[in-house]
Structure 1
Amino acid sequence: MHIEIVPFSDTHLEEAAALLALRHQGDHVLEPALPERFTQAAAARAAVEAIWRKPDATGVVAMYEGRMIGYLIGVPRINQVWGRSVWVYLAGHAVNRTYGSEVYRDLYAALSPSWVALGCYAHYALIPASDQPALDAWFALSFGKEQAHGIRETADASSLAPPVDPSLEIRRAELADLEASLELDEIIPRHQSRAPVYAPYWFEEYAPFGDKEAIRQESIEIFQDENAKFWLALRNGRIVGYQLYMPASPHFDKIDNLMVPEQCSYLAIAATREEEQGRGVGRALTAHGLAKAQTDGYTHCITDWRVTNLLSSRFWPRQGFRPVAYRLSRRLDERIAWSHEKPSPSPWLS
């Protein structure tokens, strides 16, 4: 089968939307909690176009016998947190499954040289968790799972059978709890700096995420936000864990989020002191948070976790969260910038 790869343009939006809608129809059958609107061409087109209109977005299309059978759009994201990276969002790719997911490898081979020429050696792609052939194609491009995005229904606490611990108090945080709660903020970055996650930890400076005063001010805003539910777990008056629930946004950076249904809560952060882990603190907070979310009118809750974080990658599925997408990542060896006969970017754009 001879596939022709051509640059993505505005003329491809309609066909790309049709492919995305078709893919999402299959995803929605397997996970009915996903938003149904993206099974329709109009919503799918808006999602693709939002990606395509991002600054410096680049894309390619796979054509076979005059028909589009796949497309891929990458968006550069260059900042202190992610470095020089390119992202492929859920609406930024789709292939006609009749022709196989191997098409993804041809698309990536054609598009990624422009990313390398930009100096972006960190590549990320969000792939539906139910699409194993697509995952296999990206794995064969040396991508690996980095982050899981999960969803579940909200529910009353009794249906979740939380542990009964009379010494544990669950209540909403107040501004007076600010300083004590900030003591727990470094639990997650410290834990994820260790094996087997090995995520960078910036110690006291924690530069990419702002200085401590900025973090403190952001916490104050969360405490004062009526829509943000910050639940504390206390034992003998001491904060031993917390969870933050917020309304899930159907958009991220003006990009449609294909994972967020209507009336959805977002479990944004959860932390438990190390000495309290395994004692039911997380389960009690989750049961309480999901029950309160249901009372507030939310039907679903989403969250995400590092798959290399052994604690979270085992805990959240046990709490009923079903993976709906994986963030895959690949980091190229930066020596490719100078290890060729010709200086970059010539080898990549020839």
Structure 2
Amino acid sequence: MTTTIRRIGPDDAQDADLVAALGALLADRHRAHRIASPLLDPAYEDATHATQHLRAQLADEQTAGAVGLRDGRPVGYLIGRTGDGPPWGPSVWMESGWVAAPDAELLRDLYTVAAQDWVDAGRVAHYVLVPASSPELVDGFFRLGFGLQHVHGIREPARCEPWAGAGTIRPATRDDIPALAALDRALPLHQGRSPVFAAGHLPTLEEAREEWEEEFDDDRFTTLVADVDGEVLGSAMACALELSGLHRGPVLADHAGFLGFAAVLPAARGRRLGRALGEAVIDWAAQSGYRSVAADWRATNLLSSRTWPRLGFEPTFLRLHRLIGH
């Protein structure tokens, strides 16, 4: 049966039948995904909810993509939103609910149609979030030149035994702000080196201190520190997952806590302080009544990509990346 691929964009948000069909495809995809990752939000299994999500995204003037049709019926879609802001530059993002296709070949056809317009406009950095449990989508993007960049994971909260090593994990105080500022630099400095090579924004110590002074009392965030003999050697931040700008759509688990940041000073690494901080956040999520706790990490960060899975964080979504050059 012949498949026709055509472009879609904001004007198609008004086509109720088309958007409803796309919503049904997303609901089917999410239903299969939750067999492997049952902690994800069940709301997207409902076609009406999925349709509302896609209609709102497709109506955005920065959103466009492609749909596959067989006998006039949508069988797959791919949409992306263009962006220009730092640190990504001219780019295209295909978010966690914006791709559905039954097989890798249809996915490759959809991307072929959508990507030409993006590249013609100078947007050569492409990012996509795909279910980790979908070999068809992962394989299709890999064979389009994408590689693994980032991993989203989730697990159930649980009470954890207090850290039994030297020192303690405790809530941060204002006296810890100079140490917290130094730790704010430790993570981007680490990720700027091999094999990650993705430092992102590196604040000065003064900038980091000023930000901590302004935001320390924000009760939406819980900051923990690893204190060894009165010296703060590591820190972690926990909050509700919806406060993270990287979690939208199906990747946003319902009523989930979030391990949003963790860092240990270079000289203190190898003492299991990162693991202790992670366990403390898992314990915090259990005490706070969250249904799940999420984390995300760069696949090339050898420390986090080993520590967080060992703490039980199961991959839910993979962020794949393609940078088109000569």
1:164 aligns with 2:164: yes
* Equivalent residue in structure 1 for 2:146, among 122, 143, 146: 143
- Partner residue of 2:294? 302
- Partner residue of 2:117? 114
Alignment of 1:1-350 (within 5 A): 1-8=1-8, 9-10=12-13, 11=15, 12-95=18-101, 97=102, 100-158=103-161, 164-165=164-165, 167-200=166-199, 206=202, 215-249=208-242, 252=245, 256-333=248-325
2:272 corresponds to which letter in structure 1?
G
- Residues in 1 aligned to 2:47 and 2:243: alpha-carbon distance in whole angstroms: 18
> For this pair of structures, how many residues does the alignment match?
320
1:34 corresponds to which letter in structure 2?
L
1:150 corresponds to which letter in structure 2?
G
Please list every run of at least 4 consecutive aligned residues from structure 1 whose deviation after the TM superposition is greater than 3 angstroms: 210-218, 250-253
- Cα shift readout 1:131-171 (whole Å, capped 9, x = no counterpart): 0111000000000100000001111013xxx6512x31211
- Residues in 2 aligned to 1:29 and 1:250: alpha-carbon distance in whole angstroms: 26
1:144 corresponds to which letter in structure 2?
G
After superposition, the CA RMSD in angstroms is 1.9
| Matched residue SS, 1:198 | coil
- Residues in 2 aligned to 1:250 and 1:90: alpha-carbon distance in whole angstroms: 17
Residue pair 1:172, 1:229 contacting (<8 A) in 2 also:
yes
Cα offset for 1:220?
3.3
Residue pair 1:260, 1:302 contacting (<8 A) in 2 also:
no
2:292 corresponds to which letter in structure 1?
H
Residue pair 2:23, 2:47 contacting (<8 A) in 1 also:
yes
2:305 corresponds to which letter in structure 1?
S
Fraction of identical pairs, as percent = 34
- Cα shift readout 1:229-286 (whole Å, capped 9, x = no counterpart): 1000111111100000011108848x84312222211111100112221212112212
If the length of structure 1 is used for normalisation, what is the TM-score? Answer: 0.86
If the length of structure 2 is used for normalisation, what is the TM-score? Answer: 0.92
| Matched residue SS, 2:128 | strand
- Residues in 1 aligned to 2:61 and 2:226: alpha-carbon distance in whole angstroms: 43
